[in-house]
Amino acid sequence: MSSYNEQLPPASGAAGLAGVAARDTVAPRSRRRFSADLSALGEPALWGFGGALALGIIMIATFLAVVLYNGATTFWPKPIDRVELTDGTVLAGTERRGTIFRPNLAQIDEDMRAEVEANDGFAYRTLYQTANFDIYGDDFNWVADFEVAGITQPEDFYYIERQVWGVFIGRIAGMQIDGQEMAYDPAVFRREHAAARDRFREIRRIERNDIGRVNHLIERERLAQRRAVIRQGEEAAAAAVAEGQDRITELQAEFQELQARVNEIRARDRAYTVTLEEVNGQTITPEISQLVRYYPANTIGFFDKLGIYFSRWWEFVSAEPREANTQGGVMPAIFGTVAMTLLMVVFVAPFGVITALYLREYAKQGRVTSIVRISVNNLAGVPSIVYGVFGLGFFAYAMGGTIDQLFYPEALPNPTFGKGGILWASLTLALLTVPVVIVATEEALSAVPRSMREGSLACGASKWQTIRHVVLPKALPGIMTGMILAMARGAGEVAPLMLVGVVKLAPALPIDGFAPFIHLDRSFMHLGFHIFDVGFQSRNSEAGKPMVFVTTLLLLALIVVMNATAIIIRNRLKRKYATGQF
């Protein structure tokens, strides 16, 4: 191979020699021209992207840490402080939280004012849960440090959770067992409390199961009589009405027997009471059965606290709410959230997948199809409350009202399906999340290699056989991704549910032993609405804050569990249908 100099064209005379010399002696280019600009190297962008990622992770971690800490520590038993103030006032309560504030110096004493001025006009105050709402009319009190004369923790103070009126903090001054006044004996009281709670549960069981069954049968007979009159006329239905009335008379007699049994248990229960004394000497005497849980907060050990902690958690996930949803459990809300989300998935999955299949595999790609896709994408940005208004108007009033007129005329004017219910709420959220499923399914279908379709068609399969046996199995993991996103969004929506079925309190689950067993027309509770109600609609926002964090923690855990289950299914499908491309 010839050298570079040999390939140069020959130069003639002095001009050629001068050109060669000039070429050989030319100065090297400046290093500045070869040094890249800082922005060209991408370092600022890299720093910005990394910083944004770190900031996002920190924000998410902080949010989860705050929810986890406040939610996990809410049920831990706290000691009771007896606080004496400088003005002679005495209060007792558990410390909830503290904050720094700027007091009005004109409203405090000179000694206190000097202490506050020494701290640049700021002071620290503590929020105490003083409870005893039926006595004080309030559950909490702020106490500034400069107001405190002394703090003690008496050993005889009890933290008592009641069925009504919330928490009581004070002493157990005495008890009345079977009408006999006697001093407080922990062992005797523990035994009588267990028996009293059994009586309370027996009353609840009779009222909800036995009396509830009788009331249901009476209502069914009444509606059957009215249905017969509507269909046959009063004269033709006279025999059926008379027979139904005899049956109602028998049921009413059974109702009276059950009610007499309940009254008997209640009369016996009123003979077992307890005298509770608050820190300033005022007393109340509720039935022992109204005490849900009690413990000497200042003397119990670590393992006793651990037992109380887990018993509160079990009550929270297995019982119904009490005291305006600020105490008790959220079992109806858990059931409603899960049932509504699963129903939503059942409705949204076929509709979303079929729509995406038509748009991707069958529809002629043109202007109309593009407009449909743009409309689907825009639907994802519509405010959720708009879907709630649509669901109330179309599903509840239009469809539900029509169903009532056709199949339940005897119940009118009381609506059966013509009102909010778990069915209409699920359909509303299905409509809200269907754009997510359509877009995700289309992306999954488009990701299936064209060669797989052509190979199936070349083997003699029809288009539907190709879609069913080749395209859909390959796209299933992507479709499951859309379902996961739909579940995550649907489970956390609250605004549309407020219009189409969710209520503040619905302790009866929409499932029972009466046909059709699953009642999709009933209203239900939801964890998201429960958070809103407790945090912003309860009579005391401070009393509801602990439940807000606990319910938020539970809702996040529930969404994680449902999403994790869907992700596991998606990964198994991905491994099952993993194939090579050809």
Looking at residue 17, what is its pLDDT? 46
Q: Are 118 and 51 in contact (CB under 8 A)?
A: no
CA–CA gap between residue 280 and residue 296 (Å, rounded): 18
Looking at residue 387, its pLDDT comes to 92
What's the average model confidence in pLDDT over 322-331? 86
SS3 459: coil
Dist CA 271 CA 547 (whole Å)? 34
For 423-474, the pLDDT digits (tens) are 999 999 999 999 989 988 988 888 888 888 888 888 888 888 898 888 888 8
Question: Quick one: pLDDT at residue 36?
Answer: 52
Tell me: pLDDT of 33 over 80.
no
pLDDT at 37: 58
Strands 327-328 and 321-322, bridge-based pairing: antiparallel
Range in 97-106, 239-248, 415-424, 533-542 the model is least confident about: 533-542
Residue 2, pLDDT > 80, answer no
* Beta strands 180-182; 273-277: pairing state: unpaired
Domain boundaries, the chain: 73-172+288-318, 180-270, 331-576
Phi, psi of 83 (to 5 degrees): -105, 120
* Partners of residue 284 on adjacent β-strands: 276
Q: How many CB atoms lie within 10 A of CB 341?
A: 23
pLDDT in tens, 406-416: 999 988 888 98
pLDDT exceeds 70 at position 35? no
What's the CATH superfamily of 331-576? Answer: MetI-like (1.10.3720.10)
Contact 192, 302 (CB under 8 A): no
pLDDT at 238 exceeding the cut of 70: yes
pLDDT recorded at residue 543: 73
* 166 vs 160: CA distance, rounded Å: 9
Which pLDDT does position 388 carry in this prediction? 92
For 179, the 3-state DSSP assignment is coil
Contact 174, 236 (CB under 8 A): no
Q: Band the pLDDT of 18: cuts 50, 70, 90.
A: very low
> What's the pLDDT at 41?
57
Distance, in Å, from the CA atom of 463 to the CA atom of 240, rounded to the nearest integer, reads 58
pLDDT of residue 20: 45
What CA–CA distances, in Å, run from 456 to 338, 348, 575? Answer: 40, 29, 21
Burial 398-420 (b: 16+ CB within 10 A, else e): ebbbeebeeebebbeeebbbbbb
Is the pLDDT reported for residue 24 higher than 70? no
Verify cis geometry, omega within 30 degrees of 0, for the bond prior to 9: no
pLDDT tens figures, 374-432: 888 888 788 889 999 999 999 999 999 999 999 999 888 889 899 989 999 999 999 99
pTM, to two decimals:
0.84
> Any idea how long the chain is?
582
pLDDT per residue as tens digits for the range 250-289: 999 999 999 999 999 999 999 999 999 999 999 999 999 9
Distance CA 346, CA 335 (A): 16
Residues 6+ apart with CB under 8 A from 338: 558, 562
Instruction: Please give the pLDDT value at position 506.
Output: 85
Tell me, what DSSP letter sits at residue 266? H
Q: What are residue 119's phi and psi, to 5 degrees?
A: -105, 30
Q: Give the whole-angstrom CA distance, residue 198 versus residue 498.
A: 37
Instruction: Tell which wins on pLDDT, 10 or 50.
Output: 50
Q: Are 442 and 360 in contact (CB under 8 A)?
A: yes
